[in-house]
Amino acid sequence: MTSTSNWYESFFEGVVVDLWVDALPAEHNAREAAEIARMLGAPTGGAILDVPCGAGRLSLPMSALGYQVTGVDLSPQFLAHARTAPASAAVTFEQRDMRDLPWPGRFDGAYCAGNSFGYLDDAGNVEFLRAVRRSLKPGARFVLETPMVLENLLGHLQPRPWWTVGDVYMLAHNQYDHTTSRLEIDYTFVRDGRVDVRHGSHRAYSYRELVALVTASGFTVGTDVPWTREQRDVYFVATAA
């Protein structure tokens, strides 16, 4: 059985990958990529890191904007989708743990989007942020998008939300554990009468805690991109020292 500490190693396969590949339309992804590019402020043609990149949901439209994109993800099934997508040849996709970024000072910008932060424990999250910092050129920006900020999360958390994507039904049973500051989620996926149950775990930080975590990892945190309750997501624009 997969433990809370490494649940993500086997979570992103099969029906989960199929659901996320179809979850958002191309038009949405293109708009989100353009907004992240605006926040990054990297020069056209610059090197951009997408970590983790999943099936290239944002890597591909970011490449279409003229950037040299490297996408990193641990899931071989996500990467298989990414590598067969149209225009995928323009993106470098690498199978790696999100903390394994062996490119010191290479990138003009980096981003982590799509609820991909907080899978790890505190030490692991710091290790990830420091790995991103090392991969960036001085003064380059890092955009971190997450709904897992307590002031935001607890105001919107539903105990049992559900969604339909294509022929897949997904039910989430959310339980916030205040003793560990983690959101424990039991997912149920149903497709063609088959039921697949999986568990996920996300570390949630207060805004102040997350700012402290990011700055302790070698960034300064900008305030030029505020978050709103309507968005339900928090965008940090951090600059590499």
pLDDT digits (tens, 9 = 90+) for 176-227: 999 999 999 999 999 999 999 999 999 999 989 999 999 999 999 876 554 4
Burial class from Cβ neighbours inside 10 Å (0-12, 13-18, 19+) for residue 1 reads: exposed
- Res 166: pLDDT: 94
Residue ranges per structural domain of the chain: 4-148+205-240, 152-200
> What is the per-residue pLDDT across 145-168, written as a single tens digit (0 to 9) for each?
988 999 889 888 999 999 999 999
Q: What pLDDT score does 137 carry?
A: 97
pLDDT digits (tens, 9 = 90+) for 117-126: 999 999 999 9
What is the predicted pLDDT for the residue at 133?
A: 98
pLDDT tens-digit series, residues 127-142: 999 999 999 999 999 9
Q: What is the pLDDT of residue 233?
A: 67
> Domain 4-148+205-240, CATH 2.60.260.40 — does that match?
no
Q: What proportion of the chain, given as a percentage, has pLDDT over 90?
A: 85
Crossing angle of helices 15-22 and 76-84, in 10° steps, is 40
Residues 77-94: tens digit of each pLDDT:
999 999 999 999 999 999
Is the per-residue pLDDT at 5 higher than 90? Answer: no
Give me the pLDDT at residue 4, please.
Answer: 57
Tell me the two tokens of residue 160.
């049992």
Let me know: does 147 contact 155? Beta carbons within 8 Å: no
pLDDT at residue number 3: 41
User: What gap in Å lies between CA 161 and CA 124, rounded to an integer?
Assistant: 28
pLDDT, position 2: 39
Max Cα-Cα span within the chain: 52
